[in-house]
Structure 1
């Protein structure tokens, strides 16, 4: 299945650089963006910079940029163990002001292409909060299928929330 074409042609997807981490922190600290991830609010840019500095060849962070402003990010993380080296998982966030405008589509298209055409990934995995309908619909458009439900998966905004396990198998 070919990924959908992004809605907004002015979105540039590229590898993240160390200088981007302050802008990534801004994206990740947005109320709606942090709501949809396992991150917590008010994470300082210095913590994101340290995590980025510790990245190895089994991890890749891509950013979505409009003009020179980072408006979204997606991480691809390959399993390092030999028997699971055909597997990678991903996580994504989009700046609240740009949600629903094709940024997630562009990020997901780029990471699926990287995983399947360049890293030889057979299985892409992710977890998404079960109540995040917009994200679930996006992943399903890209061929991800629901594989399971994790009840009380994470503590978010004062309550436990469920998560869906989803995966996409390349042909």
Structure 2
């Protein structure tokens, strides 16, 4: 965990509701898996469907514990009234020459999409990375047909770096993905 970096933020939504963004902890494992199964069934843009990511609660707990201890990885949750409505993970490289770079994945529950929750989680990650003594580049993969996400990433500083073909296979259909990267300068 990056020493001295905040662990929680509050986001005010239109209409007076608020979303709490905080780091995930091992005790969140069951709720995270339940959330991932829900959003997996809502979206064709994730690497899993309604079955979830294929981890047991124990495996998810171990993953969250490892991320919490790493200085180049992050897992955060967005919660409304104590219910998970969004999540973001950034996994930094494990080998010495790759520790400065990693890839993130993000999801927001369909009913809460378009409210700025995804942007707020990404801003949290960027600020965390900039304060880190390790992370200097954030990569992502996004389906080429996910135009809204691509526009958001470009507005937030990501640039197109490549394309992978036949990257996902959903309902018998191959999908290409764009590779995007964003440099992070220390604060």
TM-score bracket for the superposition, by shorter chain length: 0.7 to 0.9
Instruction: Confirm or deny that 1:159 pairs with 2:159.
Output: no
1:36 corresponds, among 45, 59, 64, to: 45
CA distance in 2, matches of 1:148, 1:27: 31
| Contact 1:7 1:102 (8 Å CA) reproduced | no
TM-score for both structures, normalised by structure 1 = 0.85
Distance 2:53 2:140 in 1: 25
- Bigger Rg, structure 1 or 2: 2
> Cα distance, 1:70 vs. partner?
0.9
Instruction: Give the superposition deviation at 1:94.
Output: 0.8
Find the aligned partners of 1:71 and 1:119 in 2 and give their Cα distance. Answer: 30
Q: How many Å separate the matches in 2 of 1:48 and 1:92?
A: 20
TM-score of the pair, normalised by structure 2: 0.78
Tell me the distance in 2 between the aligned counterparts of 1:119 and 1:40.
Answer: 35
CA root-mean-square deviation: 2.2
Residue 96 of structure 1 is matched in structure 2 by 110
In structure 2, the gaps of 5 or more residues are 1-10
> Which residue pairs with 1:3 in the alignment?
none
Match of 1:50 among 44, 56, 59: 59
Aligned to 1:77: 91
Aligned equivalents of 2:59, 2:122: Cα separation in 1: 25
CA distance in 2, matches of 1:46, 1:153: 21
How big is each residue's C-alpha offset from its partner over 1:103-157, in whole Å with a ceiling of 9 and x where there is no partner?
A: 1011111111111212431111011111111211121121001111111111023
Retained in 2: the 8 A contact 1:13–1:107? yes
Higher RCO (Cα < 8 Å, 6 or more apart): 1
**Are residues 1:65 and 2:79 paired?**
yes
* 2:148 counterpart SS class: helix
Structure 1: stretches of 5+ with no match in the other structure: 1-5
1:63 is paired with a residue whose SS is strand
